[in-house]
Amino acid sequence: MTEKFALPAATIIEMLKDARRRTLDLVADLNDEQLMGPQLDMVNPPLWEIGHVIFFHELFVLRELGEKKLLLKGAEELYDSFEVVHDDRWQLLLPTKEGTLAYAQEVQDRMIQRLESQEPSAKETYLYLLALLHEDMHDEAFTYTRQTLEYPQPKYSTNHTAGKFEAGAGALPGDVEIPGGTYMLGAVPQQPFVFDNEKWAHPVEVKPFEIARAAVTNSEFAEFADAGGYEREEFWSYGGRTWLKKSGAKQPVYWRQDGKNWQRRHFDTWLPLEENLAVIHINWYEAEAFCKWAGRRLPTETEWELAASAEPASGVQKAEKRLYPWGNESATSEHANLDSNFIGCVDVGAFAKGDSGFGCRQMIGNVWEWTASPFYPFPGYIVDQPYREYSAPWFGYNKVLRGGCWATRSRLIRNTYRNFYLPHRRDVFAGFRTCAK
């Protein structure tokens, strides 16, 4: 928790309303059957997930600020994700869509009433932001759930195609050289809001390395698939071979061949494979196998963050670093593909204004990027209160991803943000960039 940082009530209210508009947009067109969906390991029933998001607001804001009575009777038995096991979420007697949305409105009204009555303290600001950013994360999950379940592309109530970028920007081949040295990995206390797994910056020795200017493209990954990459065991680790055998994967999950040409499913529509878009919906094992085939490797998360945030002119040794690849200015639609502005990936050569100091492009936005690093706590890690379950239960099992994707909210992402998924997940909006060996 950042004890000295407080936002004006009006700013928080607008962000809460904005997040809720996004949530409602992502579920507004879904019927009762779609709101439950099939029982799959990788998704939640959307109707349950809406309620979970709202319960989180009530539990970690209203309850923490002294309100003792839950607004929905039995909410803990329905929506506590650490008490209600995944497969049981389809069997619960959930409120209807109308009832769930009424619960959502009541909780938000109560929070806004509190904010309108007095300016929030630093602690209260932290709690509101925690709930808000949790909703942003689930809105990204709603988005990839729509992709997984082959629902139509979401329609937003506000204009999300206003961003300007070079049409047909194309590929961006080549590497940049990054000098070695002592790099301070992680967030610094001066940042206004960070999660516990980002704390705190600590020295890590890094050898000089070369990292790709851009993420791997569809055409590059198609070469791997066309070369029989999924059938050649020498490119796959033991874990990768185990996953291949279990999944039966022969190509990326939403790809198919039309004669000699590849197609890609975007929500409920099949499209010709766009050569220069970043490859997406790739899991860690697939990224690792591609690297072995290409004679490359995945960057560690230290290398990734260094390439994204270090100031080349002053050297790696300097403690100060950029909050975003382009500097400390908040993301706009000219810096990065975020906020569902384009409802999908763009060419890896787009958004030159978002380049890092070393010349790496799109290190924020477009696709989450797998790193070689397992998800572990930084030295001196302390669990943040009150959301003790945010990071600690997941250490050791997951791989670290960095940078955000096209559906990530710009207020959530920064160079130090650490995402984490199990290495077999390819429903999420993940791709990767590579390093020279």
Q: Are residues 70 and 36 in the same domain?
A: yes
pLDDT of residue 83: 94
Q: Are residues 296 and 394 in the same domain?
A: yes
State how many domains the chain has.
2
Could you say which of 100, 125, 148 is where a domain stops? 148
Q: Is 99 among the domain residues?
A: yes
pLDDT of residue 157: 85
- 88-102, 107-121, 166-180, 336-350, range with the lowest pLDDT: 166-180
Q: Is 237 among the domain residues?
A: yes
Q: Which two tokens stand for residue 81?
A: 């994700």
Q: Are residues 131 and 177 in the same domain?
A: no
pLDDT at 209 over 60: yes
Q: Are residues 142 and 181 in the same domain?
A: no
Could you say which of 148, 174, 203 is where a domain stops? 148
CATH number of the domain enclosing 221: 3.90.1580.10
Q: Is 305 among the domain residues?
A: yes
Q: Are residues 72 and 217 in the same domain?
A: no
pLDDT at 3 over 90: no
| Domain housing 393 | 162-437
- 98-112, 133-147, 198-212, 318-332, range with the lowest pLDDT: 318-332
Q: At what angle do helices 9-27 and 46-57 cross, to 10 degrees?
A: 170
pLDDT of residue 264: 98
pLDDT tens-digit readout, 223-239 = 999 999 999 999 999 99
CATH number of the domain enclosing 46: 1.20.120.450
pLDDT of residue 317: 54
Q: Is 4 among the domain residues?
A: no
Q: What is the mean pLDDT of the chain?
A: 95
Q: Are residues 243 and 97 in the same domain?
A: no
**Helical spans, DSSP H, in 261-343:** 284-294, 301-309
pLDDT of residue 338: 96
Q: Are residues 308 and 401 in the same domain?
A: yes
Q: Are residues 215 and 332 in the same domain?
A: yes
Average pLDDT of the residues in 280-308: 98
Task: Tell me phi and psi for residue 269, to 5 degrees.
Answer: -125, 130
Banded model confidence at residue 162, pLDDT cuts 50, 70, 90: very low
Burial 356-387 (b: 16+ CB within 10 A, else e): bbbbbbbbbbbbbbbbbbebeebeeeeebeeb
Q: Is 179 among the domain residues?
A: yes
Radius of gyration of the chain (CA): 21
pLDDT of residue 1: 46
Angle at 385 between CA 379 and CA 389, to 5 degrees: 75
The larger pLDDT score, comparing residue 3 to residue 409, is at 409
Angle at 428 between CA 24 and CA 219, to 5 degrees: 120
Single out the residue of 131, 142, 149 nearest to residue 50, CA to CA. 142
Q: Is 69 among the domain residues?
A: yes
Long-range contacts of 25-34 (CB under 8 A, 24+ apart): 25/154, 25/155, 25/156, 25/157, 26/139, 26/142, 26/143, 26/146, 26/154, 27/97, 27/142, 28/155, 29/152, 29/154, 29/155, 30/151, 32/96, 32/97, 34/149, 34/151
Q: Is 157 among the domain residues?
A: no
Q: Is 256 among the domain residues?
A: yes
pLDDT at 326 over 50: yes
- 165-169, 274-278, 390-394, range with the lowest pLDDT: 165-169
Q: Are residues 241 and 355 in the same domain?
A: yes
Could you say which of 118, 148, 178 is where a domain stops? 148
Q: Which two tokens stand for residue 357?
A: 């100091």
Q: Are residues 330 and 361 in the same domain?
A: yes
Q: Are residues 138 and 168 in the same domain?
A: no
In this prediction, what percent of the chain has a pLDDT beyond 70?
96
In this prediction, what percent of the chain has a pLDDT beyond 90?
92
pLDDT of residue 168: 76
pLDDT tens-digit readout, 40-88 = 999 999 999 999 999 999 999 999 999 988 899 999 999 999 999 999 9
Average pLDDT of the residues in 137-164: 86
Single out the residue of 265, 264, 224, 241 nearest to residue 432, CA to CA. 224
Average pLDDT of the residues in 320-340: 94
What is the Cα–Cα distance from 368 to 375, expressed in whole angstroms?
15
Q: Are residues 166 and 58 in the same domain?
A: no
pLDDT at 160 over 70: no
